[in-house]
Structure 1
Amino acid sequence: MNRYMRGMTNGGMIRANGTQALCLDEMRARVPAIFAAAAHESRSERYVYIPTETVLRGLMAEGFEPFFAQQSKTRVEGKEAFTKHMVRLRHASRVTSGDEAHEIILINAHDGTASYQMISGVFRFVCANGLFAGDTFGQAKVMHSGDAESKVIDAAYTVLEDADRIMNDVQEMKAVELQHDEQQAFAKAVHALRFDDPEKAAVSADQLLLPRRYEDRRGDLWSTFNVLQENTIKGGQRGFTRDAAGHRRRASTREVRGIDQSKALNRALWTLAEEMARLKGAPLASAA
């Protein structure tokens, strides 16, 4: 199994409709792990329980608004209300920037599987697609100890400082034109990331380049990157696999729903886009 797909889970999820932020009641109904009343019983006395709800309310008071929330499933009975969860937020001062918006991604868990993590991301309105920025941009982690609430809010502002650099990178990617063979090379690299054995995958690398909407029929790096990212993460592309007897069977690619898997694969794709820009002689400022 591909390392980006191990432990893939399919938990509760809610996404805002358009530019209207989510309210806490909406999130509570679909992503209850955010609102856990206590830490899971497996945690020791050294574990400082700071509910995500408290942190989220603090972030909202500072102008950070939630637009997406998700939690992981678990096979361990009794852990459903404590699992890893993710919230994507936008600051009121930076809700939109043309066709994209900078986002701050909060990841936490109340069962000891994650510290508080804050990571930069980009939301693309045309496809309602949320991306993670690459490893070029820092991420902040806050352990469950001490004054975690204020530390997470401080971390959010630290990550927010990357907003200008990230949105500048987006504009630079839009200015880089790719030839068809360069798009194919990009797709092959993405295909190899997504599938352990590309020869046995249900879809080919070229299929990952098929746009889902007219607006993405462009040859620039940003459009190509988004087509590849959307097809890789959202899945749903149809193709064929072969069983042990060699018979062809219809199959479709799976959506990447696990929080850790989505994060790792998204960040790897962003790094590939940075490398493609460098190979084209237009290195992104943040990666220079």
Structure 2
Amino acid sequence: MSYHFYMRGMSNGGAAYSRGDQPLTNDELMARVPSIFATEAHESRSARFAPVPTVTVLDGLRAEGFEPFFAQQARTRVEGKAEFTKHMLRLRHRGIVNAEGEAFEIVLVNANDGTSAYQMIPGFFRFVCANGLMCGETFDEVKVRHSGNAIGEVIEGAYRVLEEAPRVTEQVDRFKAIQLQDREREILAEAAHGLRFPGTAEGKEAPITPAELLRPRRSTDRATDLWTAFNVVQENTLRGGMRGRTRTESGHFRRQTVREVAGIDQSRGLNRALWMLTERMAELKAG
């Protein structure tokens, strides 16, 4: 049975995802992420702006066996713009799942209000903790401007991203084969901590320490390979929920819960930066 969850975040206008084995339907997507269904541009766009209907791309990918399991759109305070604003879809293929319950994804980002080009990014999904990982710059990302033959370029780009599936899977297998020492895991966590709390570079205090990003949320994540370390750090960095404390200007301590990274751009940026950090660690271990 499909069990769908819907949520609202501080920096996104609505989201829908399924923790069951059934993909999201168009009715469920329309209820929470209506901008996916925009077939025309927002009235603020000029005649040169060529809208890219995400639902048309989704229909094409569904025909190729890909289904949506997560979607969200950005918040807007401009009346009438919610149906055109930036949105993200994560789709996976039932046939591209390995024995560990992991699957290659296609991540779509689009907007028909001028806030984003059409983007298609390869990703990876780990079912045990439902944390989708966006791959780093070493894999092919498709970007299409809203002009000219945008739809044709999008369709061509979809097939280019699909070709990345074997390379992404190969990279994951490489991470699994690399064992880390405690200090190497700490270095990975310290780098991730700096990305999540950039103010620490200027002396600002973060509510948690880098070591807390290494704390596994399940017993199966106590392994010492690079892939496990990456997943633990990535999940803690993005999901939040950890409790810590910061010092106020008066010198008193204030309890603080780390927020989930809910915004489309921040989530995407952190995901890809963490993947690249892991690639660099793999290269150092190989050297």
Return the TM-score normalized by structure 1. 0.91
User: How big is the shift at 1:92?
Assistant: 4.6
Residues 265 and 190 (structure 1), Cα distance of their counterparts in 2 relative to 1, 3 Å cut = same
Aligned pairs for 1:1-288 within 5 A: 9-96=11-98, 98-198=100-200, 200-281=205-286
User: How big is the shift at 1:32?
Assistant: 0.8
Residues 102 and 43 (structure 1), Cα distance of their counterparts in 2 relative to 1, 3 Å cut = same
For the 8 Å contact 1:65–1:90, the answer to whether it is kept is yes
Q: Distance in 1 between matches of 2:223 and 2:67?
A: 32
User: How big is the shift at 1:196?
Assistant: 2.1
Q: Distance in 2 between matches of 1:148 and 1:65?
A: 22
Aligned-residue Cα RMSD (Å) equals 1.6
Structure 1 unaligned blocks of 5 or more: 1-7, 283-288
Structure 2 unaligned blocks of 5 or more: 1-9
Give the AA of the match of 1:224.
A
Identity rate, percent:
58
User: How big is the shift at 1:128?
Assistant: 0.7
Residues 116 and 97 (structure 1), Cα distance of their counterparts in 2 relative to 1, 3 Å cut = farther
Aligned to 1:5: none
Residues 82 and 133 (structure 1), Cα distance of their counterparts in 2 relative to 1, 3 Å cut = same
For the 8 Å contact 1:202–1:241, the answer to whether it is kept is yes
Q: Distance in 2 between matches of 1:191 and 1:68?
A: 26
Q: Distance in 2 between matches of 1:17 and 1:166?
A: 23
Q: Which moved more, 1:28-37 or 1:40-49?
A: 28-37
More strand per residue: 2
Residues 97 and 113 (structure 1), Cα distance of their counterparts in 2 relative to 1, 3 Å cut = farther
For the 8 Å contact 2:140–2:160, the answer to whether it is kept is no
Matched position secondary structure for 1:105: strand
Cα-to-partner distance string for 1:182-212 (whole Å, 9 max, x where unaligned): 1111111111111123350000000011011
Q: Distance in 1 between matches of 2:206 and 2:78?
A: 31
User: How big is the shift at 1:59?
Assistant: 2.0
Residues 151 and 96 (structure 1), Cα distance of their counterparts in 2 relative to 1, 3 Å cut = farther
For the 8 Å contact 2:52–2:118, the answer to whether it is kept is no
User: How big is the shift at 1:148?
Assistant: 2.5
Q: Which moved more, 1:26-35 or 1:73-82?
A: 73-82
Q: Distance in 2 between matches of 1:246 and 1:15?
A: 42
Q: Distance in 2 between matches of 1:96 and 1:144?
A: 36
Which fold has the larger relative contact order, with Cα–Cα distance below 8 Å and residues 6 or more apart in sequence? 1
Give the AA of the match of 1:204.
T
Give the AA of the match of 1:111.
D
Q: Distance in 1 between matches of 2:28 and 2:239?
A: 23
Return the TM-score normalized by structure 2. 0.91
User: How big is the shift at 1:44?
Assistant: 0.2
User: How big is the shift at 1:151?
Assistant: 2.3
User: How big is the shift at 1:117?
Assistant: 0.5
User: How big is the shift at 1:156?
Assistant: 1.3
Q: Distance in 2 between matches of 1:202 and 1:184?
A: 17
What is the number of equivalent residue pairs in this alignment?
275
Q: Which moved more, 1:198-207 or 1:12-21?
A: 12-21
User: How big is the shift at 1:219?
Assistant: 0.9
For the 8 Å contact 1:59–1:153, the answer to whether it is kept is no
Q: Distance in 1 between matches of 2:33 and 2:283?
A: 40
Aligned to 2:6: none
Q: Distance in 2 between matches of 1:97 and 1:49?
A: 39
For the 8 Å contact 1:96–1:102, the answer to whether it is kept is no
Cα-to-partner distance string for 1:111-167 (whole Å, 9 max, x where unaligned): 111111110000001001101001111101122223323322221110111111111
> Structure 1 stretches (4+) deviating beyond 4 angstroms?
none
Matched position secondary structure for 1:12: strand
